Each structure stands twice: as structure tokens, then as C-alpha cells.
Amino acid sequence: MTTENLAVPPVSSADSASLIALMTTERWIEVGRIVLTGSVAFLYWQNLIPEYVLWAAVAIGLYPLVKAGLIDLFTERKIGTEIFVTVATLVAVFGGETVAGAVLMVIILIAEFIAELNTDRARASIKSLIGSVPQTALIRNASGKEQTVPVGEVKAGQIVLVRAGEKIPVDGVVVGGAAAVNQAPITGESLPLDKAEGSEVFAGTIVESGAIDVQTNKVGGDTIFSRIIALVENAESERAPVQKLADRVASWLIPIVLVFLVGVYIVTGDISKVVTLLIFTSPAELGLATPLVMIAAIARGARSGVLIKGGLYLELLAQADVMVFDKTGTLTANKPEVVRVQSLDAGLPEADLMRLAAAADRRSAHPLAKAVVEDAARRNLPVPEPESFEQIQARGVKATVEGKQVLVGNPALLKEAGVAISEAIVDAGRTPVHVAVDGKFVGVIFIADKLRPGAKEAIAALKQSGVKRVVMLTGDNAATAKAIADELGVDEVKADLMPEDKVAAIADLQKAGHRVAMVGDGVNDAPALARADVGIAMGGGGTQAALEAADIALMTDDLNKIVAARNIARRSYRTIQENLWVGVGVVHVLGITAALMGWIGPIEAAFIHLGPDVLVFLNSVKLLNVKISGA
């Protein structure tokens, strides 16, 4: 057992794991060991039993501590708290402070038992913090008959029926019915969303009204919900640097303390004082100061629709002084629309220009190309299939349409093809798509993408939180990018970038000594997200790639979730510092001072020793309920 894994208890009955279920046979043995040792110590103190009985009880009580301590010593080459407590108990017993040694051991056993129990309660409640998935599903088989089966037996393609008040057991697409679905377990959004035929739904979400037929895409461990659970549960392994530092300090402190105590004994010859100091120089709270906070912060983030993959990323996000955003799909809504068409050839009407451009773009998956094709459809223009088509990265498309060579893209595309173009046409805030036909520049299609709601407010909030620079990276032209940046309050713009240029831009910021957080869509920006100190992907609730690519995944496209993640990170980092300096430093200094002055003895110290544990515990768990902006 170790107090290093002490975790937060649930904060409500809905979050609670049953204590009875957690009380395994091994736990009842621990309870018996504590009761036996405590009872024997009390009886000996009352002179009702001989000393050898107390020694036997102490041996029984020390067994789990010695076992855990030796495992740490030989497997991890670490002198842990268990060895420290064992030494303190033995020094007290053999030094004539037998009752004090037994009381100390009982108190430590109680603390360790509570720590272990709370650890399992916290881990068992992580799922309930987010939600749970039904264990059965009502399916409609090929003959139209309905039957209830275990969810593990549901196959991809089968139709699952979900009624009002029920949780959806699979990931899939609605193929019948309509419903209002509460997606808070996945996205953290409190308002239900309307779902109809063609809508995507997720396991673990709740049908609040209506009824739907869902065609299964994923079940069990493949669902987005299960991936979230797995990533949150594994987040403990990604320890923050401050957590690793606390562990290292604890390992260094123990031998130093032992040397100090030997010196005290040589000078004073007072074994009682040495035992008292042993209690207050225990580094156990250093092990508690950070894991508690990290688990609480990760759980708080998950409940708010922010998936944080470990304490490492919490600390890095708290320390980030530069926030880098991709433009398209992050600061903008990624729903571009044609707003103006300008023909530069009197013999080519606007409608013909759009028809040729849409024909060239119809095989492209680029958002701007889709906007051109959709606009042509709205105009009811007949758009032919191109005879040939080529997508040119970061440039545009080249196609043959009705025997004509058509280029649709940015000025660089036209210039590289030898098309005469005196200067690029710009329109602030709009992206100009240049069109050439048979080697002649014939017109421009202006496309605008709406700003994502709340983007300006989110950037302002990030600056208030201590972010010194906000940078926007985009492959769009400089004029359009600057207009958007000015409207949002972005400090710096880097435009006309290829994907590798975005990676280089982040590397340059890091070389200048900045801690960089990058926000993107988690798919197209994967290299840049990986290069940044912290990669934040938006819209993780709908894509497996976003969950895998980023260090932090936002389960919706709400930019305020970035503010929430930043504020959770900063609050957790501050809480760790409070734990280390106040809960550990101040209390221990006062305790050591009182011991050296002879104001307290071993038994008083053993009871007072619980103080730092309680302070650290209470200060950490408040992260689950304290008001945090955006969370």
C-alpha cells in the first residue's frame, strides 16, 4: 500500500462507487489488522497484557508496510514512506517508547487504508463522472422481430431501437425516428440536440424525448465513449514534471532526514525527540501533493467535455505563453460560401465562369472547392464532368472541361502555369479564388468563411489568463488572414503556409524560448499538433483521429472549452504549489520546531501528523466543485 496513489473521493452519490463492493477480503483483513493492533496497544497502555503480546501485534501491523517498502527498495531502487514508517516504529519500540510506536503505526495504517480505499473509489467513479453504457440493447433482426441482447453481441449494421429515457448503447447513424439527445457524457454540452435520419449518435448519450432507430457502426471498446474512458483512466501514467520532481525530492529527503536524526540523537540522547522528529520529517505528503490534484483536474476536465491525457499536459498548458491557432475550421466555422463573382473577360459571363470553375472543382474535397460547387448548384447551373483532373497541394486544381484547360486556385497556381497575372486580386476578409481558362486569367470567385461563434471572446479570455501572444497560421492569403486576425484580436499572422511551414513556425517560437500550445482540428494539423508543447484538437467527439492526435481533445467545436482547459490547468498547477508550500512545507516546519523545542511528544505528533494529509486532501478535491471559468 502507498499513500502516493491517494485519490479524490466522489463528490455526490451519483459519483459514488459502493463501499461494500470495494470491501474485498483483503480489505477486511486490513481492517482486522488495524483493530487488532490498536486494541492490543490500548490494552498494553492499561497494563492488561504483557509486552511480548504488543510486540507480536506490532509485527503483524508492520507486515504490509515492510512488504511494500522492500518491493519499492528492490524493484524501483527507492526508499519509500513505508520503510520510513517502519524505521520510526522500530526506533520507538526498541527505544522504550513502545506505546508511541504502536500508536504511530496504527495511525499510519489507518491513513494508508483510507488512501487505498479512496484510490479505488476514484478510479471506479471515473466512468460515473462521465456516464455509463447500457449492458443490453434492443435490436430489430432481419425478420423485423425485436429482441433484447447483451450489447457485446450487437454487430455492425444491426438496427438498435432506443426510446425516451434510455441510453444509446452503440455508436451509429439514425435511420428512423427523431429524438432530442443529451450528449453531455461525450461533449459536456448541457442542452440536448435534435437527431433525425442521417444524424450521428454516440454510445453513452441519453434520449431525452422521442425514439430513434440506430444503425450500428461501433460497439464496445471501439466506441468514442469507451475511448474517452480508456484515455482518462490511463491519464495517471502521464505524470507532470512537478509530480516527478516531488517524487525525486522525497527519495533524496529520506536519507538526509535519517542522517539528521542520527545527529539529533548523538547531541541530545533523547529517543523520544528522535521518534517525534521521525514523524514530522516523513515525506509522505510530498507523494500526495500532486497525484490528488491531477486526478481531480482530469476528472473535472472530462466532465466539462475536455479530455486531458495526463498531468504532463496540464502543467505544460498552464505554463504556455503562446497560443497558436489554425485558421480554417478552428477560428472560422469551416463553412465557406461564395459571396461575389468577378468576371474579367467580357466574353465569359459570370454564370459560365462559375460553371467551368465548378466543373474543375467537383472532384476536389477542399472546402473552398466544395463552396464553388455548392454555389453552382444553388444557381441551377449545369456542371459537366471534367475530362481530366489534378489536385495540386496548397495551390488548387487543374482540369480539362469541355476541351478547355481550366485552372482554379490561388495566384501561385496560375503563375506556375505561365498565366499572365499582373497582381493578385484581394478583398479584405474574403478569399479570392483565381480562375484561368486556356492560359488566360478570366475571373475571381470571392469566398468568405464565417468566424466561429465566441472566437473573439475566447482569445480575449486567453490573454487575460496570461497568454502573451496569439498566433494564427494559415495557408490562405495574407490579406484575408490579416482581416480575420484584426477582427479577432490575434497578435501575429503567418499566411500562405504549407503544412511543413506550420511545423517550422512552431519550432521557431520554441527556439525563441516560448512554451507553445497549438489548436487545430486534429486531422490536417497532426504534424503541427505533435510539434507543439501541447496539442489541442477540436471536435474530438466526432473523430477517432482527433482523440489520438492531440494531448488535449475538446469534445465539441466550442472555443470556450480551450479557455476552460487553460483555467483548469492553471488552477491545478496553483493547487499543487499550495499543497507543497502550505500543506507540506509550513506544517512540517512548525511540527519540527515544536519537536525540537520539546513542546510535543511522539503520540501528539502522530495525531498532528494527519493534519497535512487532511489539508492536502481537502485542497485537492475542491477542484471538482470550485467555480472555474468555462468549466
Task: List Cβ neighbours of 61 (8 Å cut-off, separation of 6 or more).
Answer: 33, 34, 36, 37, 102, 105, 106, 109
CA-to-CA distance for 15 and 468, rounded, in angstroms?
38
266 Cα distance to chain centroid: 51
Cell matching residue 462: 486567453
By DSSP bridging, strand 534-537 and strand 516-520 are: parallel
Give 514's Cβ-side CA count (13 Å radius).
23
- 542 burial type by CB count under 10 A (0-12 exposed, 13-18 middle, 19+ buried): middle
CA-to-CA distance for 40 and 48, rounded, in angstroms?
9
Task: List Cβ neighbours of 219 (8 Å cut-off, separation of 6 or more).
Answer: 151, 152, 154, 155, 156, 169, 170, 171, 203
- 401 burial type by CB count under 10 A (0-12 exposed, 13-18 middle, 19+ buried): buried
Task: List Cβ neighbours of 134 (8 Å cut-off, separation of 6 or more).
Answer: 151, 166, 167, 169
Long-range Cβ contact pairs of 58-61 (< 8 A, separation 24 or more): 58/89, 58/93, 58/101, 58/102, 58/105, 60/33, 60/36, 61/33, 61/34, 61/36, 61/37, 61/102, 61/105, 61/106, 61/109
CA-to-CA distance for 625 and 15, rounded, in angstroms?
13
Block residue for cell numbers 508550500: 581
Give the CA dihedral 39, 40, 44, 48, nearest 10 degrees: 80
By DSSP bridging, strand 193-195 and strand 337-343 are: unpaired
Residue pair 537/218 in contact by the 8 Å Cβ criterion: no
Block residue for cell numbers 473577360: 345
Catalytic residues: 326
CA-to-CA distance for 23 and 493, rounded, in angstroms?
58
Handedness of CA 482, 487, 488, 491 (dihedral sign): positive
Run of H or E including 125? helix 98-130
Task: List Cβ neighbours of 231 (8 Å cut-off, separation of 6 or more).
Answer: 307, 309, 547
